[in-house]
Amino acid sequence: MSDGANEPSPTNQEGEAELFVLTAKEGGRHTPFASGYTPQFFFGATDVTGTLLVPEAGVVKPGDRATVSFSLKRAVGLEPGTA
């Protein structure tokens, strides 16, 4: 690597996330979702569609806190500390 060159960012396409789903009154969802839901993910100036996998509970309702797995449609480079 030469002086001034940036180290390549690691790419991530799958992972796990804890989320809190806002209710309709809070400006969030009106309906629950289950595995297969495909929201948009935002990482700084980058956005990418992904698919969620909801574990055992099966359904996440507005107002719930849940840990889910996700798979992004394409890999995204992340800066250290942003994931």
Give the pLDDT of residue 36: 94
Give the pLDDT of residue 21: 95
Whether pLDDT at 46 is above 90: no
Whether pLDDT at 74 is above 50: yes
pLDDT over 70, % of the chain: 77
Residue 42 CB coordination number (10 Å): 9
Nearest to 29 by CA among 1, 76, 67, 61: 61
pLDDT band at 45 (very low <50, low <70, confident <90, very high): confident
Structure tokens of 32? 């629950």
Q: Report, as an integer, the average pLDDT of 5-32.
A: 82
Give the pLDDT of residue 2: 47
83, 44 contact by CB (below 8 A): no
Q: Bridge-partner residues for 41, per DSSP?
A: 48
